[in-house]
Amino acid sequence: MGFNGVIVVGLHLLFLISMVLANTSKIPTTLEGPFKPVTVPLDNSFRGHAIDLLDTDPRVQRTVTGFEPEQISVSLSSTHDSVWISWITGEFQIGNNIKPFNPEAVASVVHYGRLKSGLTHQATGHSLIYSQLYPFEGLQNYTSGIIHHVRLTGLQPNKVYYYQCGDPSIPAMSDVFYFKTMPVSGPMNYPKRIAIVGDLGLTYNTTSTVSHLTSNQPDLVLLVGDVTYANLYLTNGTGSDCYSCSFSQTPIHETYQPRWDYWGRFMQPLLSKVPIMVVEGNHEIEEQTGNLTFAAYSSRFAFPSEESQSSSTFYYSFNVGGIHFIMLGGYIAYNKSADQYKWLERDLANVDRKVTPWLVATWHPPWYSSYKAHYREAECMKVAMEELLYKYGVDLVFNGHVHAYERSNRVYNYTLDPCGPVYITVGDGGNREKMAIPHADEPGNCPDPSTTPDSYMGGFCAYNFTSGPAAGKFCWDRQPDFSAYRETSFGHGILEVKNETHALWTWHRNQDMYNIAGDQIYIVRQPDRCPVERKQMEEFQ
Ligand SMILES: *[C@@H]1O[C@H](CO)[C@@H](O)[C@H](O)[C@H]1NC(C)=O
Ligand SMILES: *[C@@H]1O[C@H](CO)[C@@H](O)[C@H](O)[C@H]1NC(C)=O
Ligand SMILES: *[C@@H]1O[C@H](CO)[C@@H](O)[C@H](O)[C@H]1NC(C)=O
Ligand SMILES: *[C@@H]1O[C@H](CO)[C@@H](O)[C@H](O)[C@H]1NC(C)=O
Ligand SMILES: *[C@@H]1O[C@H](CO)[C@@H](O)[C@H](O)[C@H]1NC(C)=O
Ligand SMILES: *[C@@H]1O[C@H](CO)[C@@H](O)[C@H](O)[C@H]1NC(C)=O
Ligand SMILES: *[C@@H]1O[C@H](CO)[C@@H](O)[C@H](O)[C@H]1NC(C)=O
Ligand SMILES: *[C@@H]1O[C@H](CO)[C@@H](O)[C@H](O)[C@H]1NC(C)=O
Ligand SMILES: *[C@@H]1O[C@H](CO)[C@@H](O)[C@H](O)[C@H]1NC(C)=O
Ligand SMILES: [Fe+2]
């Protein structure tokens, strides 16, 4: 390379360095908010709509034989010293005269340890099966393989553990996998990166989301509802892109449960290593005979429900270093008299902000979204629970359901409030339904209030705004002040909590390189300005 070449390369380097410096020095913080609303126009590079992976795709095929484990995943318990390992053995059956497995036929055993060559610890767990039954002529029934959940306890923080799961007596044990435990809870201890996404599905766009998310090396994945979209299929395996228009013929909305097995197989390379925490979305309802709902969701995932004094798979909590996560259910009772609300009150009252300064809540349908799709749909849940979450100083809320990205200014009861949570919608995982593009504030897009409640959630609580520029109206006539940034695109988010006050939030669009930031901001807590109800630490009094 000649002298000129060196100078050119040098100048390029200087330019790159200054760009990186310039960019890092100007990451905004919520302290500079509230921000003027920003709408990023639709990227015209999008081609076509999201298409599901076919049954014949090698990534969704069963590659094990007999009772060897498949669909292996790790989930967290409520504290750093314990995790759940889940897997499935045996083939599902679908059709007529299916015969459910006896779940006791295959043992639930995990061998684990700190060294790959010394899996000297053993834990045993429980197993179950579920069926998805339709008592109608012409529809096919489904019964699952044997689902195993084993809880490992006594783990050290921030350490890699190797494990093998299965039934050693058959013998049918898995390969050796590994995961890393979370740090001990405390105000200075955080995992590096938490990936957050919703409405994932199993399309070719989902595969880009998952591959970008994996490249960003998360320590934990949060999936804020709507997992496989198995309910966009008839029981004979024929799919559809529309949830409500295609199934008018059958009295119960059909599903094709093998899509869940496909999803479990596709996700195993990530989830056998990186823990996942899931909360239910409307696509998990999956009604079947006897008014049974949520069978696949409640059976396939492990939840730290018992560990967090919840008796339900629909709401629970857990600690990740200095963060207390609360997962809430939008599709079960949430009113003041409901078990969920009482559990939430108890759980919040027990949070010690000296140990877990960050309080993060997630549930599926957003309260603060300005898209036309699902506009103000979860208003009854908002009316029931918003005050309680505010009182305890929830810092951040993550939702899905709306197939787009949106970040709010700090807001409480539709009013900008420096002590309200930041609400982030990440229903942009890439599922096959339509992306959310129109906004409720655009001419002609404001829905009639009476049409807005979700039919499954029921209730009608969406009053017109009483103050601000939209007073007396159901919709704004421009992007609402509560909405700081909105963009319709597929992608995922990464939360990096740095310390007691600062968390960096980065949203990554699928059409960019995985590490390029689409939207980025420091979420800053102000514990002095925003005092919250907190547990008194008796030992210090
Ligand atoms: C810096 O930010 C600008 C605009 O936000 C973006 O276009 C550019 O790619 C960024 N540069 C680097 C090196 O990240
Ligand atoms: C979905 O993926 C296809 C390619 O598989 C791409 O052409 C399309 O633009 C993607 N859609 C979005 C919204 O990213
Ligand atoms: C599916 O199960 C239901 C409920 O047990 C039963 O009524 C129905 O006949 C079964 N259908 C088939 C095709 O086996
Ligand atoms: C599945 O059922 C639907 C509705 O009865 C029918 O249109 C479709 O052809 C069937 N598909 C298969 C693969 O049998
Ligand atoms: C299922 O629910 C419907 C309406 O919600 C009710 O009429 C029916 O009795 C229920 N059936 C069973 C078996 O519980
Ligand atoms: C929220 O605002 C509405 C309308 O202004 C008011 O009626 C309601 O009491 C407020 N709720 C809370 C919890 O402050
Ligand atoms: C409870 O929630 C439902 C919506 O799920 C609503 O219709 C009802 O009015 C609420 N009841 C109370 C007592 O708040
Ligand atoms: C609420 O606002 C809508 C327009 O956004 C209007 O049509 C409706 O009459 C208002 N309802 C009430 C009760 O004021
Ligand atoms: C917290 O982290 C932020 C961002 O890394 C940094 O600017 C700030 O100084 C840190 N605060 C404390 C108290 O360490
Ligand atoms: Fe949804």
Gap between the Cα atoms of 196 and 327, Å rounded: 13
- Which pLDDT tens digit goes with each residue over 240-294? 766 566 555 677 889 999 999 999 999 999 999 999 999 999 999 999 999 999 9
Distance 464 CA to ligand 8 centre (A): 6
- Which pLDDT tens digit goes with each residue over 207-238? 999 999 999 999 999 999 999 999 999 999 99
Alpha-helical (H) ranges within 222-361 are 258-271, 295-300, 339-349
pLDDT for res 539: 37
Distance 448 CA to ligand 8 centre (A): 8
Give the rounded percent of residues in the chain with a pLDDT score beyond 90. Answer: 88
Which residue is it, tokens 């949203």?
507
Out of 3.30.450.20, 3.60.21.10, 1.10.760.10, 1.20.140.10, the CATH code matching 188-199+320-533 is: 3.60.21.10
Which residue is it, tokens 């630490």?
537
pLDDT for res 22: 56
How does residue 451 score in pLDDT terms, banded at 50, 70 and 90? Answer: very high
Gap between the Cα atoms of 161 and 114, Å rounded: 5
Distance 199 CA to ligand 5 centre (A): 29
Our mutation pick for probing the ligand 5 site, out of 133, 134, 253, 291, counting the most ligand atoms within 8 A of Cβ, is: 291
pLDDT for res 541: 34
Model pTM score:
0.93
Model confidence at 319: pLDDT above 70: yes
Our mutation pick for probing the ligand 4 site, out of 56, 234, 246, counting the most ligand atoms within 8 A of Cβ, is: 234
How does residue 540 score in pLDDT terms, banded at 50, 70 and 90? Answer: very low
Residue 466 Cβ contacting ligand 8 at under 6 Å: no
Whose CA is closest to 507, among 362, 406, 358, 367? 406
250 or 540: whose pLDDT is higher? 250
Distance 51 CA to ligand 2 centre (A): 9
At a CB cut-off of 8 Å and minimum separation 6, what does 35 contact?
28, 409, 484, 485
Distance 238 CA to ligand 3 centre (A): 19
Contacts 24+ apart (CB under 8 A), 458-465: 458/380, 459/379, 459/380, 460/379, 460/380, 461/379, 461/380, 461/382, 461/383, 462/376, 462/379, 465/414
Write the residue with the smallest CA distance to atom 4 of ligand 8.
473
pLDDT for res 1: 47
Burial class of residue 195, CB neighbours in 10 A (0-12, 13-18, 19+): buried
Alpha-carbon distances of 144 from 127, 205, 300, rounded to whole Å = 12, 27, 10
pLDDT for res 536: 47
Helices (runs of H) and strands (runs of E) counted in the chain: 6, 28
Write the residue with the smallest CA distance to atom 12 of ligand 8.
464
Q: Atom of ligand 2 at shortest distance to CA of 50?
A: 1
Domain ranges of the chain: 69-181+226-278+280-313, 188-199+320-533
Output b/e per residue, 140-172; b: 16+ Cβ within 10 A.
bbbbbbbbbbbbbeebebeeebbbbbbbeeeeb
Rounded mean pLDDT of 390-397? 98
Gap between the Cα atoms of 368 and 371, Å rounded: 9
Model confidence at 5: pLDDT above 70: no
DSSP string covering 104-120, please? GGS--EEEEESBTTB--
pLDDT for res 472: 97
534 or 163: whose pLDDT is higher? 163
**DSSP SS3 for 19:** helix
In the beta sheet, which residues pair with residue 254?
none
Catalytic residues: 374
Alpha-carbon distances of 290 from 238, 254, 280, rounded to whole Å = 24, 14, 20
| Identity of the amino acid at 526 | Q
Our mutation pick for probing the ligand 1 site, out of 18, 19, 26, counting the most ligand atoms within 8 A of Cβ, is: 19
Lowest mean pLDDT among 178-192, 339-353, 368-382, 520-534: 520-534
Give the rounded percent of residues in the chain with a pLDDT score beyond 70. Answer: 92
**DSSP SS3 for 506:** strand
Rounded mean pLDDT of 403-408? 98
Q: What ligand is nearest to the CA atom of residue 405?
A: 2
Q: What ligand is nearest to the CA atom of residue 139?
A: 3
Write the residue with the smallest CA distance to atom 13 of ligand 3.
96
Task: Answer whether CATH 2.60.40.380 is correct for domain 69-181+226-278+280-313.
Answer: yes
| 347 contacts 374 by C-beta, under 8 angstroms | no
Write the residue with the smallest CA distance to atom 9 of ligand 9.
502
Rounded mean pLDDT of 487-500? 98
175 or 458: whose pLDDT is higher? 175
Q: Atom of ligand 1 at shortest distance to CA of 22?
A: 1
122 or 7: whose pLDDT is higher? 122
